[in-house]
């Protein structure tokens, strides 16, 4: 992202945060969920997803539909779509969720509805000052040799790799085992806790290596790099024989150029064909998602407020999506 865009996004975030109101979220009443008559949109646990779910909900409501936003597990959600409980998952990230998604697409009850422009990457990441403390980065072997830099008082001999909730399914425990790394994988309960760890480490220039992804707010706030592991190939997570470790899977990094797709239930175009057509034109780019995430992660807004602010600030994009 260019510096100018970065600065203007940041300014936008700060201005919007300053103007924010405390309006409640009209879409979020869990008692109102009615999967028979309302379109069901999944809500996961990272900011761009929570905001884009609200934006899509608002677009559909503006077109006259009734919508429920429903908390959903990031992998079980594709089965839920087949069970008539969820209709829209607008951020299917290839690396963590591609297999669970494909399984239901193959059955025909989940539809691969659109591929967004965003290119996704999720992997171990460090702020740039860590590179100075551990020469040889971004190579993973150099990181492993520096593991004690990332130690904790409780376990000083091993490094700590901080990551998100278990249901993000990143396979880091398997990777650490397969590559015999001197690291422990520590799960935070949410993205915001993970980001708090990053912000406090950066403020004190404490060594930190954590799970990060693009698009996220981090890329226009902090400089840093992804750790480079052995390159991903499809066999790596399924074939123990592939890669440097002949006995274990996951001896590689994540794919560095993953897709981002929109999944819909088979019933959506059957019951609500115009709604299905309407959302097919929504295109989530890296910049769209990073700016949505920043309103929450930097601006401190609730997802519903962030969505309203983002839509007000981006009428041209909304017009493009909705024709």
- The residues of the shown chain that bind ligand TMO, judged by CB under 6 A, are 46, 93, 96, 122, 164, 168, 213
Instruction: Classify burial at 106, counting beta carbons within 10 Å of its beta carbon; exposed 0-12, middle 13-18, buried 19 or more.
Output: exposed
Residues 11, 151: Cα–Cα separation, whole Å: 36
Q: In terms of CB distance, is 195 or 310 closer to ligand TMO?
A: 195
Number of other CB atoms surrounding residue 74 within 10 Å: 22
Q: In the beta sheet, which residues pair with residue 144?
A: none
Q: Which of 30, 55, 77 is nearest to 264 (CA)?
A: 77
Residues 185, 173: Cα–Cα separation, whole Å: 6
**Both tokens assigned to 306:** 């962030």
Q: In terms of CB distance, is 164 or 299 closer to ligand TMO?
A: 164
Q: In the beta sheet, which residues pair with residue 256?
A: none
In the chain, what are the helix, strand and coil shares in percent, each to the nearest 5?
45, 20, 40
Q: In terms of CB distance, is 146 or 215 closer to ligand TMO?
A: 215
Q: In terms of CB distance, is 47 or 266 closer to ligand TMO?
A: 47
Residues 198, 208: Cα–Cα separation, whole Å: 7
Query: Which residues are CB-neighbours of 153 under 8 A, at least 6 positions away?
Result: none
Beta strands 159-163 and 110-115 are unpaired
Compute the least distance from the CB of residue 10 to ligand TMO, in Å: 21
Q: In terms of CB distance, is 93 or 124 closer to ligand TMO?
A: 93
Q: In terms of CB distance, is 109 or 188 closer to ligand TMO?
A: 188
Compute the least distance from the CB of residue 227 to ligand TMO, in Å: 15
Compute the least distance from the CB of residue 48 to ligand TMO, in Å: 7
End-to-end CA distance of the chain: 27
Compute the least distance from the CB of residue 1 to ligand TMO, in Å: 17
Compute the least distance from the CB of residue 93 to ligand TMO, in Å: 5
Compute the least distance from the CB of residue 122 to ligand TMO, in Å: 4
């Amino acid at each position: 992202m260019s510096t100018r865009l970065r600065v203007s996004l940041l300014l936008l975030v700060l201005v919007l945060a300053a103007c924010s109101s405390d309006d409640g979220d009209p879409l979020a009443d869990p008692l109102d969920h009615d999967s028979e008559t309302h379109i069901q949109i999944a809500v996961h646990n990272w900011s761009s997803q929570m905001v884009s779910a609200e934006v899509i909900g608002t677009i559909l409501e503006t077109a006259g539909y009734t919508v429920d936003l429903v908390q959903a597990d990031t992998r079980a959600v594709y089965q839920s779509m087949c069970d008539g409980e969820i209709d829209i998952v607008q951020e299917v990230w290839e690396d963590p969720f591609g297999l669970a998604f494909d399984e239901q697409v193959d059955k025909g009850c989940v539809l691969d509805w659109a591929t967004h422009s965003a290119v996704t990457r999720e992997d171990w990441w460090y702020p740039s000052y860590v590179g100075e403390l551990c020469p040889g980065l971004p190579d993973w072997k150099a990181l492993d040799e520096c593991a004690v830099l990332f130690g904790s008082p409780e376990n000083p001999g091993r490094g700590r790799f901080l990551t998100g909730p278990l249901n993000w399914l990143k396979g880091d425990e398997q990777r650490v085992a397969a590559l015999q790394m001197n690291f422990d994988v520590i799960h935070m309960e949410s993205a915001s806790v993970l980001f708090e760890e990053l912000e406090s480490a950066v403020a004190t220039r404490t060594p930190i290596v954590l799970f990060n992804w693009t698009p996220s707010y981090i890329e226009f706030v902090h400089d840093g790099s992804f750790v480079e592991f052995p390159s991903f190939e499809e066999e790596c997570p399924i074939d123990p024989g592939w890669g440097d470790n002949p006995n274990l899977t996951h001896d590689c990094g994540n794919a560095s150029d993953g897709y981002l797709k929109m999944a819909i239930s088979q019933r959506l175009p059957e019951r609500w064909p115009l709604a299905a057509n309407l959302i097919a034109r929504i295109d989530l780019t890296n910049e769209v998602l990073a700016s949505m995430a920043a309103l929450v992660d930097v601006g401190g807004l609730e997802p519903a407020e962030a969505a309203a602010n983002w839509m007000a600030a981006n009428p041209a994009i909304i017009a493009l999506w909705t024709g």
